[in-house]
Amino acid sequence: MHSLLLFIRKHWFVVLFLLLETGSLIMVSNSYSYHRSLSFNTVNDLTGGVFSAYSNISDYLSLKQANDSLVNENAALRDKLQSSLLITDTNFVYKDTLYRYIPAHVVSISVNHSANYIMINKGSLHGVKKEMSVVSTNGVAGIIIGVSDHYALAMSMLHHNSRISGRIKKNGLLVTIIWDTDDYHFGKILDVPSHVTLSRGDTIVTSGISMIFPEGIVIGTVEENNNNPNLDFSEGVLRFATSFKSLQNVYVIDNLLKDEQQSLLELENE
Same-domain status, 116 and 250: yes
- 29 with 83, same domain: the answer is no
Domain limits at 46?
Answer: 2-60
Q: What is the pLDDT of residue 59?
A: 46
pLDDT at 114: 94
Instruction: Name the domain boundary from 60, 80, 102.
Output: 60
What's the structural domain count of the chain?
A: 2
Residues 188 and 111 in one domain: yes
Q: Are 52 and 106 in the same domain?
A: no
Same domain, 75 and 182: yes
> What is the pLDDT, as a whole number, of residue 18?
62
Q: Are residue 32 and residue 77 in the same domain, yes or no?
A: no
Residues 211 and 125 in one domain: yes
Question: Same domain, yes or no, for 110 and 33?
Answer: no
> Considering 60, 79, 97, which residue would you say is the last residue of a domain?
60
pLDDT of residue 218: 95
pLDDT at 70: 61
Taking the C-alpha atoms of 81, 82, 86 and 88 in order, what is their torsion angle to the nearest 10 degrees? 130
Q: Does 124 share its domain with 241?
A: yes
pLDDT value at residue 11: 56
CATH of the domain at 205: 2.40.10.340
- Looking at the fold, whether 154 and 100 belong to one and the same domain comes out as yes
- Answer yes or no: do 75 and 148 share one domain: yes
Whether residues 48 and 73 fall in one domain: no
Domain boundary among 43, 60, 77: 60
Q: Which residues does 7 contact at the CB level (< 8 Å), separation at least 6?
A: none
Distance, CA of 254 to CA of 20 (rounded, Å)? 89
249: CB partners within 8 A, 6+ apart: 67, 71, 103, 104, 105, 106, 136, 137
- What are the 10-residue block averages of pLDDT along the chain, 270 residues in total? 55 58 55 42 40 45 54 54 47 56 94 95 94 94 95 96 95 95 94 88 93 93 83 90 94 88 75
